[in-house]
Amino acid sequence: MGYVAVKKTMSAIPQDIIDQENAKLMAAHQADYDALGVRLARVGIDIEHIVDRLMTLEVGIPSWGMVSGGTRFARFPMPGEPTHILEKIEDCAAVHQVSGLTPRISLHFPWDKANDIDEVRDYAHAHGMGFDAVNSNTFQDQPGQRLSYKYGSLTHSDPATRAQAIEHNLECIEIGDRLCAKGLTVWIGDGSNFAGQNEFADTLDRYLESMKAIYAALPHDWRLFIEHKLYEPAFYATVIQDWGTSILCAQQLGPKAQCLVDLGHHAPSVNIELIVARLAQFGKLGGFHFNDSKYGDDDLDAGSLNPFQLFLIFNELVYAETRARGQFNPAYMMDQSHNVTDPIESLLNSARAIAGAYVKALIVDRKALREYQSSNDVMMAHHCLRMAYETDVRPALAMARLRKGGAIDPMMTFRASGYRAQKARVRKSRPAIGGGII
Ligand code: LRH
Ligand code: MN
């Protein structure tokens, strides 16, 4: 995806703390690793090859996930949470330092607006961090904003309001370009709460007209991610409600436009891995917002409720990669709201779940699976997936982290660092003002 190489000069967590914690666990880790290596070799899999593949996996961190999240009812800030973008970057760097998996931050504007965007870039680079897709925001009105998005933004019936929303997206591209980001994610809450409020086809025409203007402003090597969502804030119809509408729009817009799958943006029983396979088959799978949910867009920790679904999604991704013969680079990002846990611990938890799902998908015996599928041996085909899913791959995950300077045990190492308590001593606390996701 052509991200800039960054020279790390600053560490969020003193590296010797990570090394000390690793030293205590090294012997047991090595024994577990060797045992897994023997077990995988028994079925013809080279554990070193798997770890090498895992070392290439990179997942973007949502800047808005670094503070305690909330709901419309309330938000409960946590002592030591970041109070501005530089502190958010420092915390993102701590997640990457311990997990080795999250080298890029996905920023959201205007939430992450800064007077000196070059300072933000350089501060991140100094921590060994880069930037993933930037996110525009035309689902809230900003103080002093001329025209309201109450009745929509890129699809508003008023051309001036649409122009204002387009202008904001062009500004996000400009800022993102200064940050060496390579993508823009456009999620809009546009939709209706009453039948008759909007004309569906006309509204989508307006969406495409607006997105064409944004598409035209993309730098040559950028991608435009269309994020669909079933409902909320609209509760009758949402303009970009599902993957079908998303892929039709991406095909209309052009090759740089692709579909972003936020796992929480589907009705509870929807088969998301099937959607992933469809989007990948037609070259329109742009990326992910990983999280988990039970009811709605709950933005819970990825893999915390449906780890098997996460595995099945990566099972489709691993197969799609073989089918795509190299033209396959979905942008993996997390999008979570940490309402009752330390955001860093939740992101470490989710990073481990995502890496685990990927490694389990890599060890699926695809040759056997293909044979069982073509001979309609249903149970053995399913068994292939179960055997991979039920394999304890934690030693391989730990080895990849270790080889990237991270922690054998991320959670216990982060706790041992005393990072949050130290930040609580130096950072101003943010008042708990009402609800809202951040
Ligand atoms: C919408 C969404 C979108 C972000 C927002 C914070 O629900 O998933 O990706 O802009 O959350
Ligand atoms: Mn999202």
> Residue 327: what pLDDT?
79
Nearest residue by C-alpha to atom 7 in ligand 1: 297
Using DSSP bridges, classify how beta strands 191-192 and 237-238 pair: parallel, antiparallel or unpaired. antiparallel
Gap between the Cα atoms of 73 and 80, Å rounded: 22
Q: How far is the CA of 402 from the centre of ligand 1 (A)?
A: 32
| For residue 1, pLDDT beyond 60 | no
CB of 112 closer than 6 angstroms to any ligand 1 atom: no
Residue 179: give the domain boundaries.
15-426
CB of 135 closer than 6 angstroms to any ligand 1 atom: yes
8 A C-beta contact, residue 297 and residue 261? no
CB of 228 closer than 6 angstroms to any ligand 1 atom: no
CB of 336 closer than 6 angstroms to any ligand 1 atom: no
Please return the burial class of 388, using the count of CB atoms within 10 Å of its CB with bins 0-12, 13-18 and 19+: buried
Does the residue 339 lie in any domain? Answer: yes
List C-alpha distances in Å: 26 to 8, 14, 42.
26, 19, 24
Percent of the chain residues topping a pLDDT of 90? 94
| For residue 381, pLDDT beyond 80 | yes
Gap between the Cα atoms of 124 and 66, Å rounded: 15
Using DSSP bridges, classify how beta strands 191-192 and 134-135 pair: parallel, antiparallel or unpaired. unpaired
Does the residue 6 lie in any domain? Answer: no
User: Quick count: other Cβ atoms within 10 Å of Cβ 121?
Assistant: 22
> Residue 15: what pLDDT?
95
- The tally of domains found in the chain comes to 1
CB of 187 closer than 6 angstroms to any ligand 1 atom: yes
Q: How far is the CA of 159 from the centre of ligand 1 (A)?
A: 25
Nearest residue by C-alpha to atom 11 in ligand 1: 335
> Residue 434: what pLDDT?
66
74-128 pLDDT, tens digit per residue, is 999 999 999 999 999 999 999 999 999 999 999 999 999 999 999 999 999 999 9
Does the residue 5 lie in any domain? Answer: no
Gap between the Cα atoms of 226 and 250, Å rounded: 7
List C-alpha distances in Å: 118 to 82, 103, 220, 254.
20, 18, 21, 31
Does the residue 111 lie in any domain? Answer: yes
If DSSP states are collapsed to H, E and C, what string results for 153-214?
CCCCCCHHHHHHHHHHHHHHHHHHHHCCCCEEEECCCCEECCCCCCCHHHHHHHHHHHHHHH
Distant-in-sequence contacts of 239-242, Cβ < 8 A, 24+ apart: 239/152, 239/155, 239/188, 239/190, 239/191, 239/198, 239/203, 239/204, 239/207, 240/187, 240/188, 240/190, 240/207, 241/191, 242/266
| For residue 436, pLDDT beyond 80 | no
Does the residue 4 lie in any domain? Answer: no
> Residue 429: what pLDDT?
75
CB of 162 closer than 6 angstroms to any ligand 1 atom: no
Nearest residue by C-alpha to atom 10 in ligand 1: 187
> Residue 4: what pLDDT?
62
Does the residue 125 lie in any domain? Answer: yes
Does the residue 7 lie in any domain? Answer: no
User: Looking at ligand 1, which atom is closest to the CA of residue 64?
Assistant: 6
pLDDT band, residue 305 (cuts 50/70/90): very high
The token pair that represents 412 in the structure block: 């216990």
Does the residue 263 lie in any domain? Answer: yes
User: Quick count: other Cβ atoms within 10 Å of Cβ 74?
Assistant: 12
25-70 pLDDT, tens digit per residue, is 999 999 999 999 999 999 999 999 999 999 999 999 999 999 999 9
Give me the chain's average pLDDT, please. Answer: 96
* pTM of the full structure: 0.96
Kindly report the length of the chain.
Answer: 438
We report the CATH number of the domain holding residue 409 as 3.20.20.150
Using DSSP, state whether 322 is helix, strand or coil: helix
CB of 288 closer than 6 angstroms to any ligand 1 atom: no
CA-nearest of 311, 320, 395 to 360 is 311
| For residue 6, pLDDT beyond 80 | no
